[in-house]
Structure 1
Amino acid sequence: MSSTFTHISRRSLATAVKNAASVQEISVSNSTLPPNSRIFSMIQPTGRIHLGNYLGAVKSWRTLAESNTDPSNKFIYGIADLHAITVPKDPKQLKEYRYQAIASLLASGLDTSKCILFFQSAVPEHAELNWFLTCMTSMGALNRMTQWKSKAQQSDSSSILEENVLEMTKAGLFCYPALQAADILLYKSTHVPVGDDQSQHLELCRNVAKTFNSTYNTDYFPLPKTLLTPAKKILSLKTPAKKMSKSDPVATSCIYVTDTPEEITLKIKKATTDSIQGQVYFDPVERPGVSNLINIVSGLSNKSIDEVVEDMSFINNHKELKDYVTNIIIEEFDAKRQLYDELMKDRSYLESICTQGRDTAREIASTNLQEVKQIMGLD
């Protein structure tokens, strides 16, 4: 992530807020970004990036930055290490995971001459704005969020007001959507590329921005639009009823950008399909395993599901299907894996990238936070 932001005028911000009265969702694949757009997104440092991370976030980040021809548009991508500690982590492992995440993003094609790339914790303005916005966020709004419930191993119907839930839930886990809002609004972001599972948090962010603007009679924060990533949710190779995750106890259920061709071949070979032979077709209900493989190819090839199924018309059995999918994945990741290995051996280079990103991000963040403090009477 790179360079500096062009300051947007109050008039253009007011127009943006007015136009976003009913904020629509836009697809990354067919979006046209207006001038002075600020695109922001982060990924948690859980180590190496897997196929679901790559298609759900990273590939879209790269596409947005690469396809941009307007120098007034800025792209800010980060490693959300403050969010990572809502569940305690081993310090040595967290540090290693942070650098693995940076190396994975670089190996996946992010160009730091076209975007800013940094560690969230290296920009203290995130935490400061978080407090300002937490003071404006209702407990009810936070209670309606679903992700803290899943991370706290509670049911979707659970409430923070239940005594057992209250005792078991850490405040940071419950309040982290306010930090997400601070992350986005700190850079006065206009667009946020996310998967559909994050749409709820982005709606809360917009509500927090509206509350701030209304409370202080200003139009300072734009209401960020959702840029929906084109890839659908990538499912576990072994249990296609759930999301692909590196926490899955079955090692062959998850493919990493850094996997060798041999590892990819083995994992796809063991992927769950079904008992239906013959022509391949997409049916997530009746054929979840096969449909997941089709979806993977669709995401990697930038083709629609129908186009992928047409390309697979020659396939008549599961072995042919798995061989086809394996070749697509290996072709996508082989060079990236080799670059990742080289980057992880060059910690000084990774440090230089993080330092450059931190300095550029702080230049923007400190200016904006000072303006927020002036609005609030804290300057």
Structure 2
Amino acid sequence: MSSTTIPLSVLDIASVDSAGGPVAALTGTRELAAAADELGYERFWVAEHHSLHGIASSVPAVLLAAIGERTERIRVGAGGVILPNHAPYAVAESFGTLATLFPGRVDLGIGRSGADPVLAHALRRAPNEEFSESLGELLAFLGDGFPDGHPYQRLEALPRPPAAPRVWSLGASVRSAAEAGRRGLPYAFAHHFFNSRGTQEALAAYRDGFRPSRWADRPHAIVTVFTVCGETSEQARRLAYPALFPVLRLNGASPAVPLPTAAEAEAYTWADTERAAADALLASQAVGDPDEVRRALSDLLERTGADELMITNNVTDVKEKIRSLERVRALAPSLPAPGHATA
């Protein structure tokens, strides 16, 4: 991509539907990553989720090892690791290993969002609720180092890769954006959360408070957006609707079961109020035919001045997911330049 073309990246969660199961989901994620690599996407991230039957990406580092082997150029990373679930030293070792296996192309996105107390105990027994302190420890293990007299000063997170993984701060609030700026970290805002608010305010707070660091000499903001680019608007919505079932609790859907397939969602008898609620959730995202998606992404870029767009969705048909990637990639030259905000 030229410097005037917005970089495009991909976030995936290995969505599981009632027909395919987790094997199909994880196989599909690797296939999607290989396609994104060939299409020239900037990076491919997977997210950490637990105890959800509709998501198979519970251990990003393991999945990224498989993705790294299937790709050649694209940066691979976590979007992200939920730091309260893990000891910072263990995260530094895991991603140092990945960065040793795949030099110069590993990202480590760090999120704050925690699990319920029982799950938190199962994951880490005694989770550290001081997120800022844990993040500081992780950055120290990855290269900042500890001050003299610190109890961890003599420890090294090994193997030490040729280049440290690039650390990103993830969030969906002004608070997370301000902390990312204060620490001099690149930042990714989760606009793709349905009913997401405050994207512009968060990115403004990030830029206003940014202080250069060893991790970034200037602010770099990704906006992640739920994107399904179909051949037609109707097809795109048909592919997108299954993701809304657990959000709206349609037909009793819950995290305890996999997502419905597109055919199952289409067969569901939608009440007018349910259809209206579904369309309202998609209104702030980018779902439709190529022209609709171009307008939605352009509007988001104009409002936020994002330096990069990261697209994501819960579509479980990997062939349709790749076709959506192809259509979005073809739109890139027509989108506003990175960092260009008009409001």
- Asked if TM exceeds 0.5, the reply is no
The structure with the greater share of residues assigned to helix is: 1
Relative to the length of structure 2, the TM-score reads: 0.33
More strand by share: 2
